[in-house]
Amino acid sequence: MATEEISHEQIPGVDPDTPLEEVLVTERPVWEEGPPHKLFKKLRSECPVHWTSEITEYPEEAGYWSVTRADDVHTVSHDWKTYSSEVGGITGLTHAIMPLELQQAMFIAMDPPKHDRLKQLFQRGFTPRRIADHEDEIREIAVRVLDGLGDRERCDLVTDVAQPVVSRVIHSFMGIPPEDDEIWARLMNTMLAADDPDINPEGTETVMKRDVPEIFERCGKMIAERRENPTDDLTSVLVHAEIDGQGLEEHEIVMGFFLLVAAGNDSTKATYSSAMRALMENPEERQKLLDDPSLIPSAVEESLRMFPAFAHFRRTATEDTELSGCPIHEGDKVLMWYLSSNRDESRYEDPDRFDVTRNPEHQAFGAGGRHFCLGTALARLELRILLEETLKRFPEMQIDGEVANVESGFLNQLKTLPVRLRA
Query: What are the pLDDT digits (tens) for 220-278?
Result: 999 999 999 999 888 998 899 887 888 888 998 999 899 999 999 888 999 999 999 99
Whole-number Å distance between alpha carbons of 413 and 273? 8
Residue 66 has pLDDT above 70, yes or no: yes
Residue 193 has pLDDT above 50, yes or no: yes
Q: Residue 2: its pLDDT value, please?
A: 42
Residue 324 contacts by C-beta under 8 Å, 6 or more apart in sequence? 48, 49, 69, 72
What distance, in Å, lies between the first and last C-alpha atoms of the chain? 41
Sign of the alpha-carbon dihedral angle for 34, 37, 43, 44:
positive
Amino acid found at 392:
K
Q: Residue 120: its pLDDT value, please?
A: 85
Kind plus residue range of the DSSP H or E element containing 50: strand 49-52
Extended beta strands in 332-385, E state: 333-337
Whole-number Å distance between alpha carbons of 324 and 228? 54
Residue 6 has pLDDT above 70, yes or no: no
Q: Residue 90: its pLDDT value, please?
A: 96
Whole-number Å distance between alpha carbons of 392 and 315? 42
What is the average pLDDT value for the chain, to the nearest integer? 94
Asked whether 329 and 317 are in contact (CB, 8 A), the reply is yes
Residue 268 contacts by C-beta under 8 Å, 6 or more apart in sequence? 162, 165, 166, 169, 309, 378, 379, 382, 383, 386
